[in-house]
Chains A and B, each alone.
Chain A
């Protein structure tokens, strides 16, 4: 089974801090994604990556950046955390860019910014 592991289930940070969310997948997938999930809004795509050192902006990239130095690891960075970034963050991976394979999700990091 594909396993997508997010480093923290719960995280509490203060406004202005630089925050790192880590995601690792064990199936050699090329594609990785970061979403945030808020009540009533569904999942919204922040950034994605089709290969090592590649990144593409999603629908809501403002205030975030990403890093993909190794194929299995995709990091989301909040440069200067703000209270409106309090949310559930979900990482996902997928074998290839095209085709009907599903995205496999981690169990999420619930981030609170105080």
Chain B
């Protein structure tokens, strides 16, 4: 069964600190993996996409990694800001164009 699992479910950190969010998937065949950020009361917005051949990709203070062998991805946030408070959703695409969504990690950044 195609599944995407994220950990932790929720995370609280202090402003300026770094954090790492995890995503494990059992999706086959694999096409790509995308991280979305969803602010409270808003729709998800794409942060980055990883294809099979990519190991790491950065978007400002966000760095995503992908290990296709172990079927794991991580999203690392550097020097967190209050505006990083949101839910982060890992989404894996199978070759059939179907998206499999994780349940998200809720991040809260406090001053």
Contact = CB atoms under 8 A, between A and B. Distances in A.
- Is this pair of chains taken from one and the same complex? yes
Q: Which secondary structure dominates chain A's binding surface?
A: loop
A47 interface: no
Contacts of A108: 41-43
B102 A90 contact: no
Contact of A105 (B44, B51, B97, B103): B44
A103 B91 CA distance: 11
B48 to A, nearest CB: 10
Interface stretch (A13-21, A36-44, A68-76): A36-44
B10 to A, nearest CB: 11
A107 B49 contact: no
A100 B51 CA distance: 9
Contacts of A42: 89, 101-104
17 contacts: A40-B103, A42-B103, A45-B99, A90-B43, A97-B97, A98-B97, A100-B32, A100-B49, A100-B51, A102-B34, A102-B46, A105-B43, A106-B43, A107-B41, A107-B42, A108-B42, A108-B43
A4 interface: yes
Interface residues of A, number: 19
Interface in A25-46: 40-45
B1 to A, nearest CB: 12
A107 B103 contact: no
Interface string B28-53: 00001010000001111110010100
B109 to A, nearest CB: 21
A97 B98 CA distance: 10
Interface in B61-108: 89, 97-99, 101-104
A102 B43 contact: no
Contacts of B42: 107-108
